[in-house]
Structure 1
């Protein structure tokens, strides 16, 4: 690219970056999502936490209010295993908000086995990709009313995937399915950026690092070993949220819409994510699955 690359940021210091105006945001109720929401709240944002569990959402909102003294922290319920629930959330936001400046698609699942949703999709791919894809598209008109950013939380696992559209709604194994969903996040970002050219909205995909969160919650041997390693070697949720925050608020990132970020700086796209025609194919497949049109 001919533009100057954005500079690296130091972890835990993104609160020094100021927002130009009050922002509405979507994040999560625990882990990276919680830390992202809390950071936005510290900046004076009007935060909307979208999640499935009402009790956890209420607890997260109250905790953030207490920690940040920001009372504009709200939640809306959504079940990402249901396209109807996603459409209901989007309708509520479009009706109640006059602008939406930051959208962080952070929710994700890992080892959920062979489960189909009410929409006939594998639970993992619907939660990790199809529902965020649908929600984002349903909120685009609202986001175009201001200078807005969309951050899609992906994973380094996407590097190991080889895109096969026929595998997206099949149960393969937990790692293959997860890696494919994370590659979809990146491909979605690439094609979305292309479609958003000439608008006020930009988008970025993020690898947060290997973070000790509740995404690995089962009691199997793999989970036990993974948690033991994670506790010793990898990031906590606050550290893991920094790249999402950076892409949401850092100045002058607009020329890099569609790019991939790690550790608060832009990195070369994984080899698995360099074919823009595959990105277009993933978009077309997703558009058909969620019945966007």
Structure 2
């Protein structure tokens, strides 16, 4: 749908969830275009294998990996500190990592596990990398979302509750939060040269995202995905399009699907809600005085 020949030499791209699935395919596509790519996930064995395979298949030696576990805010902070310390620039941040049907429990950080993996971890990572992203402008942030967001809701008093939400509901809430976060990013980043857009990959074949589902539900869902889903290689092309197309350099605050602007959630235009989300998220992840670049630049 969106084949492109745009080269990316001199660009640095971070892809979370880059050791497998569509994250791996996206990293490989960006490397093939000449970008320096950093893949990130929590499994070092898979990361090493993915890095080595990408280098072999693309001939691009500038592929590296760093560990990150979005279920641990300490891990996110460590990753961000390493990137800021060792990388002179970030041109593209693709927040691709996410999960379905995680255990209904709190993390060690006191946050709902699905909300933390799919949203709070991404919020913290992006927040901590924003000064470098702004210094690297023009740069781009692409946040993964999903159609489930349309049935999600945000209740700041209960978004970390356990035993309150079913599998689909908590997924929907996390994806809605990611989408509204993107809208607020756009509002706050105007004039900085940093763009922020959300992306719905629709349904993707040949990934391990269903691994946490019960066997019967997993088999039924997999049959459905095999019938209508996109190959992960096609989704990688779409993400690479959003990451590199020069016509999108100044496009921000949009929601994309199939390489086209798609209908965003109606709450994305509610600036009071998105501001409240931003502040509640900063509180939830415990942004420190030293980390709070907003306050430090006033």
TM-score, length-scaled by structure 2:
0.91
CA RMSD of aligned residues (A): 1.4
What secondary structure sits across from 1:144 in the alignment? Answer: helix
Partner of 1:59: 49
Count of residues in Structure 1 that have an aligned counterpart in Structure 2: 281
Contact 2:13–2:37 under 8 Å retained in 1 = yes
Alignment of 1:281 with 2:276, yes or no, is: yes
Aligned to 1:4: none
Question: 1:179 and 2:172 equivalent?
Answer: yes
Q: Within 5 A, what are the aligned runs for 1:114-263?
A: 114-146=104-136, 147-171=138-162, 172-212=165-205, 213-217=207-211, 218-263=213-258
**Paired residue secondary structure (2:52):** helix
Contact 1:154–1:207 (Cα < 8 Å) also in 2: yes
* Contact kept in structure 2, 1:26 and 1:103, CA below 8 Å: yes
In structure 2, distance between residues paired with 1:228 and 1:50: 29
How far residue 276 of structure 1 moved from its aligned partner, in angstroms, is 2.6
Matched, 1:26 2:14: yes
**Residues 206-257 of structure 1: CA deviation (Å, up to 9, x unaligned):** 0011112211113432211101111122112112223322211111224431
Q: Does 1:108 align with 2:102?
A: no
Query: Structure 2 CA distance, aligned partners of 1:189 and 1:243?
Result: 18
Instruction: List per-residue Cα deviations over 1:35-77 (Å, max 9, x = no partner).
Output: 1100110011111111100000000001101110011110001
Aligned to 1:127, the other structure's residue is in SS state helix
Deviations 1:61-118 (A, max 9, x none): 0110111001111000111111111011000000101111000000001101312111
The list of structure 1 runs, each at least 4 consecutive aligned residues, that deviate by more than 3 angstroms after superposition, is: none
Unaligned runs of 5+ in 2: 293-298
In 2: Cα distance, 1:201 partner to 1:272 partner: 22
Q: Which runs of 5+ in 1 are unaligned?
A: 1-9
1:221–1:273 distance in 2 versus 1, CA, 3 Å: farther
Hey, what does 2:69 align to over in structure 1? 79
